[in-house]
Amino acid sequence: MATFSTLGTAGQFGNLNPTIVSNQVQLVAFTNLPWPRLINWKSHNGAGSVTNVIQSTYTTAMAAVADTGADSSSAAYTTTARSITQTAKGLDFLLTLMANEFQAGDQSHVVDTLAKSYAKKVDTDIMALYTEAPTAAEIGASGTPLTYANAFVPAFSALAAGAAPAPYFWVLAAPQIAEIGTESQFSEWQKLGQAWLDMKIDLPTGYLGVAPWGVECYYSNNYTASAGNHGIMFAREAFQLHEHMPFTVAIDASEIGVATRSIKFGGTTIYGVGGVRDTSTTNAWVADVVS
166 or 58: whose pLDDT is higher? Answer: 166
Residue 9 belongs to domain spanning: 2-290
Residue 108: pLDDT above 60? yes
Q: Which of 35-44, 48-57, 73-82, 206-215 has the highest mean pLDDT?
A: 35-44
Q: Which of 152, 123, 122 is nearest to 287 (CA)?
A: 152
243 or 204: whose pLDDT is higher? Answer: 243
CB-count burial class (<10 Å; 0-12, 13-18, 19+) for 131: middle
Give the CATH number of the domain where residue 263 resides.
3.30.2400.10
Q: Which amino acid is at 92?
A: D
Report residue 49: phi and psi, to 5°: -105, 0
Mean pLDDT to the nearest integer, 129-157: 93
Residue 203: pLDDT above 70? no
- Between CA 14 and CA 69 the distance in angstroms is 76
Residue 19: pLDDT above 90? no
What is the residue-wise DSSP string for 11-72? Answer: GGGTT--HHHHHHHHHHHHHHT--HHHHSEEEE--SSSSEEEEEEPPP--PPPBPTTT--BS
Tell me the average pLDDT of the chain.
Answer: 81
Q: Are the beta carbons of 93 and 61 closer than 8 angstroms?
A: no
Give CA separation, 249 vs 15, 37, 109, 116, 140, in Å. Answer: 14, 24, 14, 14, 42
How many folded domains does the chain comprise?
A: 1
Residue 104 confidence class, pLDDT cut points 50, 70, 90: very low
Name the 3-class secondary structure at 219: strand
Residue 228: pLDDT above 70? yes
pLDDT at residue 154, as a whole number: 96
Name the 3-class secondary structure at 274: strand
Tell me which H or E stretch contains 136. Answer: none
